[in-house]
Chains A and B, each alone.
Chain A
Amino acid sequence: MSTKKNISILLFLIYFITGCDQVDVINPEITFKENVVVRSELIANRKFGGISFTKTLPLEESYDISEAELKDVEVYIKVDNIQVIPLHYQSNGIYNSLYEFSIKPGSTYELFAKYNDENIYSITKVPVIPVVQNVMFSDGNYLQGDVTTEPDIVFGAAWVYSTGTVGNYTQASDFYSIVENVANSSSVSVRTQIVPQEFRNPAVRSFLYLQPYAFDKAYLSYFKTKANGKPVEDSFIHGGDGISWNVQGKNAIGLFIGYSIGELKQ
């Protein structure tokens, strides 16, 4: 039996020299669906900062807050199913109360809103202030510690570099992870992003702290999916799924989330 071999010689292939892919800006017909976008963070022991109500805009436009803000939303929040606080439009889509009040750790807050005859609802629990123990510098490049858990709460940690003087405060840009207590243990381990080299130096490491964060459980899904709404940098990856929100309602998206921030710990 004989073996036959083939050798091919390509004489010219113009586009492999100049590139065989082409990127064009296009303007396809896309059905625009207007959604109400809600945003509010309820931080334990801090003053309520209001709730933002805006709407999505078509892709053809440049984003303009004056076009996106909603001025005629009927909205109130309910605290622990007892106290009702009406909110009023202020500016740039922000609705706030007529009087200042602080967010109570351990309390449950509900959002009730109505826009274009559609109801919008959300509920969140503000965690008690998290306490971290057994903080250590792991693998020489990040901090980790154990946080005491409570049900339906998830946890994150940030590294903080602070000398105690004004202007000398830097912290992580984001959480390394958000963790939940899946084993029903009394504590859960949290860790920070990698600490930059300049703050790892033993001479300045005494100014490095771990700060624990505790969130309503809905934050976990948001954290895992929040990158979905970002522009696509890798042209060979399509846009993805939506972000996981905890605001409910027809044509409503957004996050109404309670969280608390623990003390710096070394």
Chain B
Amino acid sequence: MMQLVFNIILSFSPILLVAMSFALLYYPTKFFHIAHAAIITSSAYFVLFFLNKFSGNFSGWIGYTLSWTKRQFDELNTGRIYYPRFDRRNDISVVLIYSFTNNLSVSATWTYATGQHISIASGQFGFSDIGLNNSTTLNYDYGLRNDFKLPDYHKLDLNITYKFIWGNLPFQAYLSVFNVYNRKNPFAVYTTTTQSSSSALGKPELKQITLFPFLPAAGISVGF
């Protein structure tokens, strides 16, 4: 394994902090699965930029990461290099907090990430299994591994927090809205077969799972 990390941190204390980090990571390794060994060659590179303002009524931070992650297995994807699902070219987080008083603050968080790589069928074919069960079924032709990129992920969250004392205990009431503009960020895309009046084998259907649409929440917490 070879790893090289280079950091620059500039602090304009107590107001501003700028951090930059560069990293190169490369590791050829060996692991065992089922009953045979396989060689994985992996590499990851990233540049991280982080800007943080932490004093005054208005505070927050911006983080940006540019990264590449690659995998190569001799026994997968015909030995070709592919991007694993967690490869994210761009990753941005923006957090803004404004304190009206010592008790009342609002915050907004916007996150963005390049869409993930997944494997998805590029075609369909009828095929009778060879062996004991020779019935013909609809099969899907998956091309190269993780050759399809999901749409980009992004969402905005808002939060209002009010702090107060009640019975000598510190309370915090909050109202938050997750995914304000109801972005349908895909968690997974998969292929199913539905019945078809025109084909005995059925018709392919691509489905997308979306997690966490527009989601308001309110709560109260107490510390003791």
> What residues make up the interface of A, taking CB atoms closer than 8 Å to B?
4-15, 20-28, 30-35, 37, 39, 41, 54-65, 68, 156, 158, 171-175, 213, 219, 222-223, 226, 228-233, 235-243, 253, 255, 257, 259
Contact = CB atoms under 8 A, between A and B. Distances in A.
B219 interface: yes
Contacts of B77: 241
A28 B125 contact: no
Contact of A175 (B123, B132, B190, B214): B132
B219 A22 contact: no
Interface stretch (B49-57, B62-70, B139-147): B139-147
Contacts of A25: 205-208
B199 A62 contact: yes
Contacts of A226: 129
A257 B130 contact: yes
10 A-B pairs with the lowest CB-CB distances in the bound complex, closest first: A56-B123, A229-B139, A62-B199, A232-B190, A8-B221, A62-B196, A11-B218, A59-B204, A62-B203, A231-B193
A33 B122 contact: yes
Interface in B113-162: 118-133, 137-143, 145, 148
18 contacts: A7-B221, A7-B224, A15-B212, A20-B212, A23-B207, A24-B210, A34-B123, A58-B123, A59-B191, A63-B124, A64-B198, A65-B126, A213-B131, A238-B189, A239-B140, A239-B191, A253-B141, A255-B130
A193 to B, nearest CB: 9
Contacts, number: 206
Interface residues of B, number: 63
Interface of B: 76-77, 85, 118-133, 137-143, 145, 148, 184, 187-193, 196, 198-199, 201-224
